[in-house]
Amino acid sequence: MLRNPKVKESLTSRLEQQECCKLQGHENNLIQFICACHECPYRYQKACAHCVIKLHGKHVEDMKEIEEFDQIINENSRKAKNLMKESEELIMKLKNPFLNFFEQLKLQLNEMIDSIQQRYLIQNQERAQQLIRNELDFINQFNQNVNTKQNRYLNDHTLKQYSNSIKTAQEKLNNALSLFELKQLLESNLILLLEDFGKNTGISYISNTSRNTSQRHSSCHNIMTPRSALNVFNHNISVVRSKKFRN
């Protein structure tokens, strides 16, 4: 029995401000802990110091002070939200499992196509002009005469020559600048690019048709990176176009 009234008053005030244990015989003990043991039948229940001894003696290390437990809960809540965000990203990947692969591939292909376009233009623009030089001279002269309104040159014979020059130039260009070889080279090297890009990014699935086709086109390429596929393609263009114009 407490004889000092001030001590008794202090204890009473403390008991009123904080929660006391509900267990019989523990009524004067303040709740201080929460059990965080997953195997305890009283897990996540509040406990006083006597409860710890009586009910949680085998896993005292899992008893957390209330403030500490609140911090753990808040931290776990934050982690749970992050995990939920990761799960949403995972679900999105399930809807389109190769999205990242194809986005990277598009960038690689665009770079390849831009390089091919620039190289093809540089290699063939001057050659094409040389190929139809005679026809082009006549066409330019005719256009100049028409633009300066020298209508005396617009007789039937001249018009026929003009028409024939255009037709001949078109035929020469169509034959010399046929896209058939370009299409073949592009197709075979794109297949190589797809396969090697897949290897570099961990994508193992390539259709048998694509693999067989690439094997027919790549007997001399061995292991090829996307960059080397582009280099080989550019080299092949140079060889084919040179042969075409020489013929």
Query: Residue 231: what pLDDT?
Result: 59
* b/e map 60-77, b = 16+ CB within 10 Å: eebbbeeeebeeeeeeee
Q: Phi and psi dihedrals of 210, rounded to 5?
A: -65, -40
Cα 78 to Cα 80: distance, rounded to the nearest angstrom: 5
pTM for this predicted structure: 0.35
Mean pLDDT of 142-158: 75
pLDDT at 53 over 90: no
By the 8 A CB rule, do 100 and 92 touch? no
On average, the pLDDT of the chain sits at: 73
pLDDT at 247 over 80: no
Residue of 100 and 193 predicted with greater confidence: 100
Query: Residue 81: what pLDDT?
Result: 92
Q: What percent of the chain has pLDDT over 90?
A: 6
Q: What percent of the chain has pLDDT over 70?
A: 66
Query: Residue 85: what pLDDT?
Result: 92
By the 8 A CB rule, do 198 and 101 touch? yes
Q: Is 55 exposed, middle or buried (0-12, 13-18, 19+ CB in 10 A)?
A: middle
Residue 20, SS3 per DSSP: strand
* Tokens standing for residue 60: 């005292």
Residue of 12 and 145 predicted with greater confidence: 145
pLDDT digit string (tens) for 56-91? 888 988 898 888 888 888 898 899 999 999 988 888
Residue of 206 and 238 predicted with greater confidence: 238
pLDDT at 26 over 50: yes
Of 12-21, 135-144, 146-155, the one with minimum mean pLDDT is: 12-21
pLDDT at 55 over 80: yes
Strands, E assignment, the chain: 33-35, 46-47, 63-65
- The strand pair at 46-47 and 33-35 is best described as antiparallel
Residue of 231 and 158 predicted with greater confidence: 158
Q: Which residue has the tokens 């009524």?
A: 27
Of 55-59, 108-112, 182-186, 206-210, the one with minimum mean pLDDT is: 206-210
Rank 14-18, 19-23, 208-212 by mean pLDDT and report only the highest: 19-23
Residue 56, SS3 per DSSP: coil
